[in-house]
A and B are shown apart, each in its own frame.
Chain A
Amino acid sequence: MTDLPDVWIQGAPPHIHLPSLPALTTLVVHVHTDRPSPHLTNILFSIGSVPMLTSITIKYERPTLLSHPPLEHLWADVDRWLSRIAKHAKVEGGLPLTMMRWALWEGFFPEFRESGGRVEVDNGG
């Protein structure tokens, strides 16, 4: 944890502020590490509720697939903000979150799942 920025440790989302995106249906974020960056946390925090959102994808962009699950405690804030988004989503069957090129264990993102979100893993792309 020591190499993470202070702002991340304190849980305050830094950097970019997304404006209100009332027409957004699809959000795809491309990440390069197996731990969430302050940018990712901040994007999910600031996106808040998007009434039209029907899918979120987090794509791991490194050439090799992750062989081990990411550390869950590092993703707790992401889980929290995803959960808030899922509660506001109006998708039948729950908001789908596609994790592309990740090795996840079944219970990953527990708060998101409890809020009606669905986690799908896609290792094809």
Chain B
Amino acid sequence: MDSIPQELIDAIIDNVSQTSLPSCSLVAKRWQRRSQQRILATISFLSEGEVWCWCTDITWGPDRISSYVRHVKIDEIYSWHEPALLSRMLGSLSSLTALSIYRTNIPDEFSGSISRGELGKGITTLDLRYLNYMLSTLTSMILSLPDLKELHIEDCDGAPGGPLPTYSVTPQRGPLDSLELLEQAGGIGETLAKFRFTSRRLTLGMYIAGMEQLLLLSSQTVVELHLYGV
């Protein structure tokens, strides 16, 4: 076993099914790291208790496996007993690049941390679905992610309320790689247009408010256009 190059072991691990990875991680020491990296590349939290366990059991462990996490999905956490927990958990993930939040009440502490730039650096993909939100909160979060490349918003009822962020100079940002704005996106389309978001890949519902402005803004850059509800 020792004579097998590490690259070959890694290639084997990269091609086994997700369900076989726990077994792979137990084959030998040299199989452990890559297997764990794949197991933990995407993790889902379906309750506040799971977030709590991650923060207490995993984050402070000796092997720093939290750095293997690239994508976090949070789903169906409707309330938080400890509102700071979400920020603590995400703050522990040094390699996080993608964040999906579905059907979850996002604590003010979390959106505030992102808006103040304390969290969110390195996140290139933000995927928000089935959220009931203050438009101003959502906008602040999106605008405060400096590395954002892919943005997906679906069924987020961005209720008006609260002031929209004001910038003496609109944050400079190049075109996104992908902007998806599907049904019931509230006023988010108009708001993104106001902040002059553009994208190379554009996916839009026909009845999104601000749809035409977004198309016009991206007219020179869009390479791939998907239109829903036609």
Scan residues 45-64 of chain B and give those whose CB is less than 8 A from a CB of chain A: none
Please list 10 pairs of residues, one from A and one from B, whose beta carbons are closer than 8 Å in the complex, sorted by A's number: A16-B212, A21-B219, A22-B219, A24-B223, A24-B225, A26-B223, A29-B227, A30-B228, A30-B230, A39-B230
The answer, among B211, B212, B221, B230, for a CB contact under 8 Å with A37, is B230
Taking chain A's interface residues, is the majority helix, strand, or loop, or is none over half, making it mixed?
loop
User: Nearest-CB distance from A43 to chain B (Å)?
Assistant: 7
A71 at interface (Cβ–Cβ under 8 A)? no
Q: Determine the distance from Cα of A24 to Cα of B227 in the docked complex, in whole angstroms.
A: 13
Chain B residues at the A interface, C-beta cutoff of 8 Å: 206, 211-212, 215-216, 219-230
Asked if A7 CB lies within 8 Å of chain B CBs, one says no
Q: Are A20 and B219 in contact (CB under 8 A)?
A: yes
Q: Looking across the interface, which residue of chain A has its beta carbon closest to that of B227?
A: A29
What residues on B are CB-neighbors of A27 within 8 Å? 225, 227
CB-CB contacts below 8 Å: A4-60 with B: 16-32, 37, 39-40, 43, 52
Chain A: number of interface residues, binned into ranges: 20 to 34
Q: Which residues of B contact A16 (CB under 8 A)?
A: 206, 211-212
**Contact assessment for B227 and A25 in the assembled complex, using a CB-CB cutoff below 8 Å:** no
B230 contacts which of A17, A19, A29 (Cβ < 8 Å)? A29
